[in-house]
Amino acid sequence: MKRTVRMVAVLVAAAIFLMNSHASAVTKWACIGNSLTDGWTAGNVMVEAYPEKLARLLGSNYTVQNDGKAGILVENYIENSTHWADVQSFQPDIITVKLGTNNSKPEQWTGGGNSSVNFISYLTSFVESLKGICPNAKIFLCLPFPCFKSFNNPYGIDSVVIQTGIIPKIKTVATAKNLPIIDLNTPILGHPELSLDGVHATQAGQDTLAHLLYRAYMATGVTNMVQSHSTIAGFGAHSYLFTVVGDRFSVPSNLAAQVKSIELYNVKGMSLGSAAVQANGLVLVDKAKISRGVVVAKFR
């Protein structure tokens, strides 16, 4: 009788553990950036920055960590920011990198830092280091918040360098490393009222940044189909392997139009149930049930 009671207690404890593990399966998002991310503005005044606003938009199934550092350069974030260790211990599912603005300063662009020549290597090295400490994270490179000439900002941030130097180089790295881009520049270019001093964002500007990130994540295909699984035993034809970001993956439009239903499996062949393809091609999954950030989708 005692053995039976003990066994029941063990089973109950195991069930509670599994329930708690399931409940705690939140998607973690790290926002790496400079003063705009940190929330610092002129006069050492702090505002509520876009990571905090983004967290509210995403809801309770997400945890957003603010890893912004005022005045930081791409090439010295690792050694001059305590946030690097924070990112590593956090092990996020999603990382957005919004760096490069401070590299536009004259002393950095053509001076000792020589970012006009070295920026691509700086950012490439940073991305490779980031992948090294967070191998399972999906990394997005963000185009920087614009600098507005009309404010005559006192920081030395150069609007022309940002538009014609920094942004093209970020795109070059994104292409070379096959990383998606989130444009936090173009939608704001014609809106100087969203800037406090030509460089930093107002509360409305921070809110705009949060919504741009949210929409880019929610409304676009944020993951890639890795390969057809039709030749792997146990899955058969019309089965595909997808990487998952957070709680979603995106079906290519040419396939989504033909799909009537999807059956999901983990890589061990265990069924995860059926799923629906949304109009924009997104499929939502239960993150707690998948393993190694991938899922097999069998189309019907």
- pLDDT computed for residue 289 by the predictor: 74
- pLDDT computed for residue 7 by the predictor: 39
Decide if pLDDT at 18 tops 70: no
For residues 223 and 138, the answer to whether their CB atoms sit within 8 Å is yes
Q: Residues 17-39: what's their mean pLDDT?
A: 74
Q: Residues 136-164: what's their mean pLDDT?
A: 91
Q: Residues 7-28: what's their mean pLDDT?
A: 47
User: Helix, strand, coil proportions of the chain in percent (round to 5)?
Assistant: 45, 20, 35
CATH superfamily of domain region 25-219: SGNH hydrolase (3.40.50.1110)
DSSP per position, 195-228: BSSSSSB-HHHHHHHHHHHHHHHHHS--S-EEEE
Name the token pair of 179: 């990383």
Distances (CA, A) of 49 to 27, 72, 174, 202, 241: 20, 16, 25, 9, 36
For residues 57 and 208, the answer to whether their CB atoms sit within 8 Å is no
DSSP per position, 273-300: EEE---TTSEEE--GGG-BTTEEEEEE-
What phi-psi label fits residue 184: left (phi over 0), alpha (psi between -120 and 50 degrees) or beta?
alpha
- pLDDT computed for residue 292 by the predictor: 59
- pLDDT computed for residue 224 by the predictor: 45
pLDDT single digits (tens) 56-95: 998 888 999 999 999 999 999 999 889 999 999 999 999 9
Q: 129-133, 200-204, 288-292 — which is least confidently predicted?
A: 288-292
Q: Residues 20-28: what's their mean pLDDT?
A: 60
Domain ranges of the chain: 25-219, 225-299
- pLDDT computed for residue 126 by the predictor: 97
pLDDT single digits (tens) 231-281: 445 566 667 777 777 777 777 766 777 777 788 887 677 888 888 888 777
Q: pLDDT grade, residue 54 (50/70/90)?
A: very high
